[in-house]
């Protein structure tokens, strides 16, 4: 009997996965209904408001708005992005250590209400700043971001390269129905070809990833943009979390935007039977936690994938050399992506953090400098994920 996973149209409709952009939001809205003009005005002018020192004053003067006029999914996603950007800017401001620990109720209440409706946390997540923060600038499909924090924060390059990696890897999702149907029908050559297509898509995603060097300066990323992506979980500057005035009585801790919140790579880990979440440990727990930062349809897709027949066990059972090589090609492509991610983190986080430590003249918070924006011990986490992937190869080398 055919399964739902054997039809991409069914996957697309049930799990909000687009045929062209994958887990990204296709053609995001650029404007909210007029009643939310004040929100939009602040979000569009964040760089000037932060630079002039007027951001917090503008936020504190906002009227309390109802979310009732956000009637469709795309307007709700845009509003979540807008309120997320405003919140990050309000908390961190110019990034000089002047941190606000209470989000005013006029922004906290609608933000938390909307987050509850979307089943997302009230913080800027990857699904906001990467997957929904883009537009086509012209008919040639050149792209731009909707919102940035500072004029020189290189967010356009960082967010768009991340998005393009997602889109390139997303082409592989279309092969998933072929894989499950080929397994059910015992069509080994079809399965082999589908696995090789996935490997090819992941290799192309790595090539796109290389573009980050052209568009993102390490010092600017570390010292400017990264400030606004940091959350209030595992962050000594907000050790108790953030107080959402008018919604919760106690402060809440949430992780900042992180690549761990991307569904695309967890998707291929699950598909290939790479046990990233097995055996407990901080890396496994972090990846499990990050699913709660994904849109619910996407985390449901990952759960559904987990309930399907194991591709890895099928390949092992058949003992076919060509099939094993194709499977390993997929795993190697993931290993290469994770190796490259480690190189990027070294260039964009560890080296600038080391330079900042050497140049310090005052005692300021530094415990978080080598942590990811999601609050993890960054290198240990990435090395653990990479090693688990490497160990999943069927053949050494």
d(CA 132, CA 123): 14
- Local confidence band at 8 (pLDDT 50, 70, 90 cut-offs): very high
Helices (runs of H) and strands (runs of E) counted in the chain: 20, 4
Domains and CATH numbers, the chain: 23-391 (1.20.58.480)
118's tokens = 């979307």
Q: Which of 337, 359, 391 shows the shortest CA–CA distance to 162?
A: 337
Nearest to 390 by CA among 337, 322, 343, 323: 337
Q: What is the mean pLDDT of the chain?
A: 92
3-class SS at 190?
A: helix
The H or E element that residue 242 is part of is none
Of 390, 291, 286, 279, the residue nearest 331 (C-alpha): 390
Contact assessment for residue 381 and residue 342, using Cβ atoms and an 8 Å cutoff: no
* Alpha-carbon separation of residue 249 from 105, 243, 244, 285 (angstroms): 12, 8, 8, 27
Q: Residue 265, Cβ neighbours under 10 Å: how many? A: 24
**Which pTM does this prediction carry?**
0.93
How many residues does the structure list for the chain? 397
* Helix (H) / strand (E) containing 144: strand 143-144
Nearest-angstrom CA–CA distance, 255 and 259: 11
- Alpha helix (H) residue ranges in 221-295: 226-229, 263-272, 281-290
Strand partners, 243: 102
Residue 36: predicted pLDDT: 98
What's the pLDDT score for residue 280?
A: 60
The closest of 387, 379, 367, 315 to 343, measured between CA atoms, is 379
Mean pLDDT on 137-146: 80
Residue 395: pLDDT above 90? Answer: no
**Residue 122 reports pLDDT greater than 90:** yes
| Residue 122, token pair as written in the block | 């009230």
User: Is the pLDDT at 373 greater than 70, yes or no?
Assistant: no
> Is 367's pLDDT higher than 50?
no
State the pairing for strand pair 143-144/102-103.
unpaired
Strand 243-244, strand 102-103: pairing: parallel
Three-state DSSP class for residue 314:
helix
232 pLDDT more than 60 = yes
- Which residue's entry shows tokens 């020189």? 152
pLDDT in tens, 91-113: 999 998 899 999 999 999 999 99
Given a cut of 80, is residue 4 above it in pLDDT?
A: no
Q: Is the pLDDT of residue 378 over 90?
A: no
Q: Is 210 part of any known ligand binding site?
A: no
283: nearest Cα among 379, 390, 177, 190:
379
Q: Average pLDDT for residues 349-359, to the nearest whole number?
A: 83
pLDDT band at 372 (very low <50, low <70, confident <90, very high): low
Segment 274-283 shows an average pLDDT of: 74
Give burial (CB, 10 Å; 0-12/13-18/19+) of 156. middle
- Choose among 38, 117, 134, 34: nearest CA to 81: 134
Q: What are phi and psi of 103, to 5 degrees?
A: -90, 125
| Tokens matching residue 148 | 């940035």
């Amino acid at each position: 009997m055919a399964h739902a996973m054997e039809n991409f149209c069914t996957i697309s409709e049930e799990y909000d996965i687009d045929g062209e952009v994958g887990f990204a939001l296709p053609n995001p809205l650029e404007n909210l209904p007029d009643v939310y003009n004040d929100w939009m005005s602040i979000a569009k002018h964040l760089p000037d408001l932060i630079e002039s020192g007027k951001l917090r004053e503008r936020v504190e003067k906002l009227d309390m708005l109802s979310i009732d006029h956000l009637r469709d999914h795309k307007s709700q996603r845009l509003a979540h992005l807008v309120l997320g950007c405003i919140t990050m800017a309000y908390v961190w401001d110019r990034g000089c250590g002047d941190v606000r620990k209470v989000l005013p109720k006029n922004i906290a209440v609608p933000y938390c209400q909307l987050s509850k409706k979307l089943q997302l946390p009230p913080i800027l997540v990857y699904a906001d700043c990467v997957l929904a923060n883009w537009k086509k600038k012209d008919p040639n499909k050149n792209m731009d971001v909707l919102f940035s924090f500072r004029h020189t924060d290189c967010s356009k390059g960082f967010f768009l390269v991340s998005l393009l990696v997602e889109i390139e890897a997303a082409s592989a999702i279309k092969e998933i129905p072929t894989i499950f149907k080929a397994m059910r029908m015992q069509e080994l050559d079809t399965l082999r070809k589908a696995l090789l297509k996935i490997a090819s898509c992941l290799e192309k995603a790595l090539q796109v990833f290389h573009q980050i060097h052209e568009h993102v300066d390490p010092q600017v990323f570390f010292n400017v943009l990264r400030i606004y992506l940091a959350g209030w979980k595992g962050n000594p500057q907000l050790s108790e979390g953030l107080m959402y005035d008018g919604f919760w009585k106690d402060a809440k801790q949430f992780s900042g935007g992180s690549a761990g919140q991307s569904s695309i790579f967890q998707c291929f880990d699950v598909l290939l039977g790479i046990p990233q979440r097995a055996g407990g440990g901080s890396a496994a727990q972090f990846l499990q936690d990050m699913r709660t930062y994904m849109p619910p349809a996407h985390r449901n897709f990952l759960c559904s994938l987990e309930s399907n027949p194991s591709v890895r066990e099928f390949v092992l059972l058949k003992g076919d050399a060509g099939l094993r090589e194709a499977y390993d090609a997929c795993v190697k492509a993931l290993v290469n992506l994770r190796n490259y991610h480690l190189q990027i983190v070294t260039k964009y986080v560890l080296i600038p953090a080391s330079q900042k430590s050497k140049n310090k003249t005052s005692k300021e918070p530094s415990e978080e400098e080598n942590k990811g924006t999601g609050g993890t011990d960054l290198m240990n986490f990435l090395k653990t994920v990479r090693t688990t992937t490497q160990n999943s190869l069927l053949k050494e080398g």
